[in-house]
Structure 1
């Protein structure tokens, strides 16, 4: 649990059992419900020994993992895990819809407005709104963590994979690069992202995948990225040393797709890497030491510690480390929901107002998005429901919990836990162990089975 002193300055996090004892003894009060933060009434930073914590960040397109941990000589102990769910896809879809509506209005027989888009220029470092949203929400949570915990260092994945380590070029630094171990992991991470973590020949996913040479090595094929793909064990054994043209001679459409995709670069690499670079630059501006690493190194760290694949465990394994002793058993999921809309109407299929929304946001002391707990004694909704509330002027609210939406709860059964902050909160258990797939051999080994 996060702990603040009497003046609101962060102290080292404590165990939940200790937080309960402090609250029961009257020495602390609840500062925030989710994430749970307590404030001590009889302690200040000057009277405490603060060792500090570190934060690991695993940026992603749909989810970003955040891990708060302590580090003692390369041994990490996970203290808190947060999975941040972005809404970039929703932003992209709404912008595309807006653009389509504007194009439609310009083509209709309406009052003409001269186009103004030709004189618009994008500033240096411009990101699309859906990408900028990921950077800003991540930075918002880093700022929150620095307010609730004494953060001393930030670790972040700067790129998904190290492009220097994808080829047998000049080694960068460290014995791992010289021996090729990290290079093998960078290649695997690149191919998993490029081929969608599925077999290129049968489309199987969620199974152990082998690295397959499109043009077999026994027939002069190379280890270049453009000659590598993913194949399940069955397809890999069936293809063996057969040229892909002969192996897929009965499926010409699939052959064309495999050859085209093999030569094409990873489509999302530029956008993802641009977002990570923008996040790195924003993190440097906050004044904390920022250490960077690649996604391939994170995967290599997980293989050594036996951790499963998840966003929060990736965040815990970012950067240079020796081992990870423990990690939290529960993950807090913070889903970006926004803070409402300025629109006061709902349109019909033709764009005309269908109904009008109320001008006031607060009903019976509650607003849509507030975190509440409803205790319903009788009726079809009997039980305790915790989640985000959607208010109605009738006083009958809807509450969205981790199990779904419960409708028609009277306001007198509802108790406020936390005001809306633009996120919906749920929890889920952390994956404890990695699936039983054989690790790649030491020394790089581009032909190992069981990558995932």
Structure 2
């Protein structure tokens, strides 16, 4: 579980996070109550003093997952007291928008009454981002606000990653051909660490040495699509062989590398497109805002011999991340699930109506997305189950582990807020 619990005064003003042991003592003694399960927050029954220590929220933005960490600068140095990983649903949003566009296009082409296209009716404001990208900004900003309301946070640090895709595709580009600035070569290594999950391509272990799939002596280029991570032993063993020659007896690894080698730059483009918008929104908090680069974060993590993880990368962001004590604890895993949709008439993949949704969302005090506990005492399904509930008007609800459980067995742990939680 997360190492610290958030604490609120009776007037909902934030206090410094306390240890799990301290939170249990306050709850057992009746001096506090559980305010929120995720992230775990307690609220005191009597007002307490507001002594504070420097507390920084550090963010490692990513295309699919964003790491967050709270770093306390106390008497014993800097310590990471809370960590979380926020998984975005940008690709799910993009697929839904594509499906909607195809459905509307299909309707206009059928032998129905004419429906004029409306996609040219609106103009895009300055700074517009596609919904799938803006989602990443909004969810990160939303969680920064939640943490700000629940803790005495006094600064924010963010990793400002910049991948120059022109430099990656054409390392020799220069002069008038190079229109978008320069970038240090260390960013290519950081990109490879992200693309290959920090693992060696040939033996699957953690590696840092850059290797050419097609050797330069046999016409290989310095393009990022021809680069992988390797170790010294595998590099020397491969020599100037082609990839197919070297892995002729390991077809599974060969297919994996070839598939990963063809991976596009979608994630890189998403980070580049959203970084400036996120930076501007976070500056609105009005607190000190130091920045860090990806190479510095990677160096800080490797120098302290920490495992590769998004929340650990967040703790190592910036100059202050060079000496941060990170305990081996499980971070809070946050997954964006959405809040449903407003579509009343559900359709199949061809656009024909197949179901009807009511305007009512809450049934018997429960709503789809609530995290609940079901204690079933009778029948074949007797047992205790916990998870996100899917409600029905009939009163027979579904959980990930079991279906068709009567609502009388349920109790709410955490009201649905559009996210799923785990450790």
Write the distance in 2 (CA, Å) between the matches of 1:75 and 1:3: 22
Shift of 1:57: 0.9
Equivalent-residue separation in structure 1 for 2:54 and 2:11 (angstroms): 18
From the superposition, tell whether residues 220 and 417 of structure 1 become closer, same or farther in structure 2 (CA, over 3 Å): closer
Pairing partner for 1:6 from 7, 10, 14 = 10
Q: How many residues align?
A: 397
Tell me the equivalent position of 2:251. Answer: none
Cα drift, residue 138 of structure 1: 0.6
Give the equivalent residue in structure 1 for 2:31: 27
Look up the match of 1:37.
41
Q: 1:380 to 1:270 in 2, by over 3 A?
A: same
Separation (CA, whole Å) in 1 of partners of 2:157 and 2:164? 16
TM-score, normalised via structure 1 length: 0.76
* SS class of match (2:93): helix
The equivalent position to 2:83 in structure 1, one of 81, 84, 90, is: 81
Contact 2:15 2:151 in 1 (8 A): yes
Instruction: Name the SS of the counterpart of 1:330 in structure 2.
Output: coil
| 1:17 paired to 2:16 | no
1:357 and 1:116 map into 2 onto residues whose CA distance is 25
Conserved in 2, the CA contact under 8 Å of 1:370 and 1:416? Answer: yes
Instruction: Report the CA distance between 1:4 and its aligned residue.
Output: 1.0
Distance 1:342 1:28, change over 3 A: same
Contact (CA 8 Å) 2:103, 2:351: kept in 1 or not? no
- Residues 57 and 409 (structure 1 numbering): CA distance in 2 closer, same or farther, change over 3 Å? same
Matched position secondary structure for 1:407: coil
- Root-mean-square deviation (CA), in Å? 3.7
Counterpart residue number, 2:272 = 273
Aligned to 2:189: 188
Summarize the alignment of residues 320-339 of structure 1 with structure 2, pairs less than 5 Å apart: 320=319, 321-327=321-327, 329-339=329-339
What's the TM-score, normalizing by structure 2? 0.81
Range moving further from structure 2, 359-368 or 236-245: 236-245
Q: Provide the secondary structure at the position in 2 that maps to 1:56.
A: strand
Structure 1 portions without partners, runs of 5+: 169-181, 249-253, 428-452
Match of 1:230 in 2: 228
Shift of 1:352: 2.6
Tell me how far 1:345 sits from its aligned partner: 3.1
**Distance verdict in 2 for CA 1:378–1:236, change over 3 Å:** same
Residues 344-398 of structure 1 show CA distances to partners (whole Å, capped at 9, x for unaligned) of: 2332454232222333222221111112111122433333222211112222211
Aligned to 1:293: 292
Q: Which runs of 5+ in 2 are unaligned?
A: 173-182, 248-253
CA–CA separation in structure 1 for the residues paired with 2:322 and 2:228: 30
- 1:20–1:283 Cα change, 3 Å: same
